[in-house]
Amino acid sequence: MAHYQNFEELEIYRLARSQCMQIWSLINETSLSKDYKLKEQINGSSGSVMDNIAEGFGRGGNKEFIQFLSFARGSNHETKAQLQRAFDRNHISLNDYEDMISKLKLLMNKSRNS
């Protein structure tokens, strides 16, 4: 972590940001926008992944960064469960669901290796 100047340089942060933007697009382009509780939950959890990576980086130590990566992984799993609910409620297509799940898995794997 020492050779990075800011959290935006981290691949894991860029993946989390991309995931968050894709979730936001799904919210705005599907009936998920009308499921207010689920919309807020999935928007919050996907944003929390980014936020925890940034906060952990900002703490300045490897131990803290690892702890906040753990929080980010938890939020990522939360996002996965919410995507499953969105799919089960017919808010998102199977294609969108599978695409997002594969990206969530990639992010989870990257977070374990960071």
93-103 pLDDT tens trace: 999 999 999 98
**Residue 92 domain boundaries:** 8-113
Q: CB neighbours of 109 closer than 8 A, spacing ≥ 6?
A: none
Q: Provide the pLDDT for residue 56.
A: 95
In a domain, 2, yes or no: no
Q: Would the pLDDT of 1 be above 60?
A: no
Spatial separation of the C-alpha atoms in residues 69 and 102, rounded to whole Å:
19
Q: Provide the pLDDT for residue 113.
A: 72
**Residue (of 84, 102, 105) closest to 38 by Cα position:** 84
Whole-angstrom Cα Rg for the chain: 14
In a domain, 69, yes or no: yes
Please state the rounded mean pLDDT for residues 69-88: 96
Q: Would the pLDDT of 76 be above 70?
A: yes
Task: Report yes or no on whether pTM surpasses 0.85.
Answer: yes
In a domain, 71, yes or no: yes
Two tokens at 23? Answer: 């979730």
In a domain, 1, yes or no: no
Residues above pLDDT 70, as percent of the chain: 97
In a domain, 108, yes or no: yes
Strand boundaries in 7-91, DSSP class E: none
Check which CATH number belongs to the domain holding 70 and give it: 1.20.1440.60
Look at the chain and report how many structural domains it folds into.
1
Cβ(55)–Cβ(82) under 8 Å? no
Tell me the per-residue pLDDT of 4-27, one tens digit each, with 9 for 90 and over. Answer: 889 999 999 999 999 999 999 999
Q: What confidence tier does 112 reach under pLDDT thresholds 50, 70, 90?
A: confident
CA angle 11, 14, 15 (to 5 degrees): 85
How many of the other CB atoms lie within 10 Å of CB of 103? Answer: 17
